């Protein structure tokens, strides 16, 4: 199968030169190397290469574009070469992009679920609440630019939480209303990790035909910092103020138009409709 190496040159692990050397070692004459030049490039490029194996070489944003352009007859290899790489953290043994290139080049693909929100496909995480506000604005703060992604996310969350207005949501899971009220954190995920390695949905599996939903109800702002250790240890969902669901369909209704963060992209609406696209993507694992 012909291989397409789709590279985001500005995604940031600082290993691009080494990545290119490794690609030169494994590529065949018919294979193609393409660099993205602007946002949404991958979305346009991927459908031009049917019946090919697509290497998404970048971060979660690059992967999101690839997923939305992916055809049913293509295979996907995710090479973690961005800042967060949250999707790959939950499924790949090889976290280093150089090792991943050589290891996964000879592996077989497996059917993996995708999720859809208002027609926009994603493979990892969609969030509302403080987590979404943080993801949408984490790079607005000067200090976060000089920190590792996980630390930047936590610092961004602490900055954002002082002005966080506690968004009110109405949530339906498989047709049944399960919560109406204000939230601190709220995620509808396919994968286990988001925010640079944090997890609200550590029970999630990418091939079970279900999305994992975690709602962290409103907590007083002076209390939130005390729960950061639980968040870092992936145990926040065990607390009594958290509700956890697995579902095939989810509805989220807001009083005002809201910017939901979907694998680094913003989807704006008042009403959000999520569904599982079971086995939609062929991912090399």
Each residue's pLDDT tens digit, 203-213: 999 999 999 99
Q: Is 120-276 the same fold as 3-107?
A: no
Say what the pLDDT of residue 120 is: 97
Say what the pLDDT of residue 153 is: 64
Question: What size, in residues, is the chain?
Answer: 285
Give the whole-angstrom CA distance, residue 214 versus residue 188.
7
Each residue's pLDDT tens digit, 102-132: 999 899 999 999 999 999 999 999 999 888 8
For residue 176, pLDDT over 90 is answered with yes
User: Fold for domain 120-276?
Assistant: Tumour Suppressor Smad4 (2.60.200)
Say what the pLDDT of residue 164 is: 86
If DSSP states are collapsed to H, E and C, what string results for 151-200?
A: HHHHHHHHHHHCCCCCCEEEEEECCEEEEEEEEEEEEEECCCCECCCECC
Say what the pLDDT of residue 12 is: 66
For residue 16, pLDDT over 90 is answered with no
Q: Could you tell me what percent of the chain has a pLDDT over 90?
A: 70
Number of neighbours of residue 119 by Cβ within 10 angstroms: 9
Q: What is the mean pLDDT of the chain?
A: 91
Say what the pLDDT of residue 254 is: 96
Q: What is the maximal distance between C-alpha atoms in the chain?
A: 60
The pLDDT confidence band at residue 146, using thresholds 50, 70 and 90, is: low
Q: Could you tell me what percent of the chain has a pLDDT over 70?
A: 92
Q: pTM, whole model, 2 decimals?
A: 0.90
Please state which CATH number belongs to domain 3-107: 3.40.50.10330
For residue 187, pLDDT over 70 is answered with yes
Each residue's pLDDT tens digit, 239-264: 999 999 999 999 999 999 999 999 98
Domain ranges for the chain, please list them. 3-107, 120-276
* Residue 105 Cα distances to 3, 16, 23, 84, angstroms: 9, 18, 10, 22
Say what the pLDDT of residue 94 is: 74
For residue 85, pLDDT over 90 is answered with no
For residue 141, pLDDT over 70 is answered with no
């Amino acid at each position: 199968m012909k291989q397409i190496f789709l590279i985001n040159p500005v995604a940031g692990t600082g290993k691009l030169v080494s990545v290119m050397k490794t690609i030169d070692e494994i590529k065949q004459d018919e294979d193609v190397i393409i660099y993205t030049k602007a946002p949404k490039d991958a979305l346009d490029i991927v459908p031009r290469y049917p019946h090919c194996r697509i290497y998404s070489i970048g971060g979660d944003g690059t992967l999101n574009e690839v997923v939305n352009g992916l055809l049913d007859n293509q295979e996907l290899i995710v090479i973690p070469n961005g800042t967060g790489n949250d999707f790959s953290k939950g499924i790949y043994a090889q976290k280093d992009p150089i090792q991943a290139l050589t290891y996964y080049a000879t592996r077989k693909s497996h059917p993996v679920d995708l999720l859809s929100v208002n027609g926009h496909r994603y493979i990892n995480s969609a969030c509302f609440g403080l987590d979404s506000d943080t993801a949408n604005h984490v790079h607005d703060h000067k200090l976060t630019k000089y920190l590792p992604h996980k630390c930047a996310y936590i610092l961004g969350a602490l900055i954002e939480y002082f002005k966080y207005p506690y968004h009110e949501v109405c949530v339906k899971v498989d047709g049944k209303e399960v919560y109406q009220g204000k939230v601190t954190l709220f995620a509808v995920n396919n994968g286990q990790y988001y925010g640079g390695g944090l997890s609200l949905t550590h029970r999630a599996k990418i091939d079970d035909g279900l999305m994992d939903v975690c709602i962290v109800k409103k907590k007083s702002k002076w209390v939130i910092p005390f729960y950061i250790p639980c968040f870092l240890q992936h145990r926040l969902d065990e607390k009594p103020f958290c509700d956890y669901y697995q579902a095939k369909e989810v509805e989220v209704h807001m009083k005002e138009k809201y910017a939901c963060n979907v694998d680094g992209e913003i989807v704006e609406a008042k009403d959000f409709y999520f569904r599982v696209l079971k086995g939609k993507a062929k991912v090399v694992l």
